[in-house]
Amino acid sequence: MRAMAVREVVGLTTPWLATRLGLQSAQVDAMRRGGELLAVRRDDGQWVYPSWQFGRDGRPLASIPRVVAAARARGIADERLTELLSARAGLTGDGRLVDALRAGREDEVLRALAEVR
């Protein structure tokens, strides 16, 4: 798998997300640092939060903190985690780990992260 250029990440910027969630930008940053949200820094220095981590109601998926914590415990950087979750799963499948996450199959995602070398 080729490395994802950070500028390719499609998502929400900190100011936009703060407005959407009714928070201050500093609160969103604290959520990112605390592992409640996943974000990657673009080449321009702006944090971008992949939109797939939010439910239809606009709130973060409840599983995000557990997935981020598991990845960080294994030494997987947030940028790499974003790549892993966004990439196609398997050689012939077209599903992604993020699809499993959004479908409520958090255990499947955690097992896959446990196998990352």
| 5, two tokens | 């250029």
Instruction: Tally the domains of the chain.
Output: 1
Confidence of residue 7 (pLDDT cuts 50, 70, 90): very low
88 in any annotated domain = yes
- pLDDT above 80 for 70: yes
| CA separation, residue 15 to residues 20, 82, 95, 101 (Å) | 9, 20, 31, 25
Q: Three-state DSSP class for 22?
A: coil
Query: Which of the four pLDDT bands, split at 50, 70 and 90, describes residue 3?
Result: very low
Sign of CA dihedral 58, 103, 63, 42: negative
Q: Residue 82 falls within a domain, yes or no?
A: yes
Residue 13: give the domain boundaries. Answer: 8-114
Q: Does residue 30 belong to any structural domain of this protein?
A: yes
Local confidence band at 83 (pLDDT 50, 70, 90 cut-offs): very high
In a domain, 1, yes or no: no
pLDDT, position 114: 93
Do strands 47-50 and 11-13 pair parallel, antiparallel, or not at all (unpaired)?
Answer: antiparallel
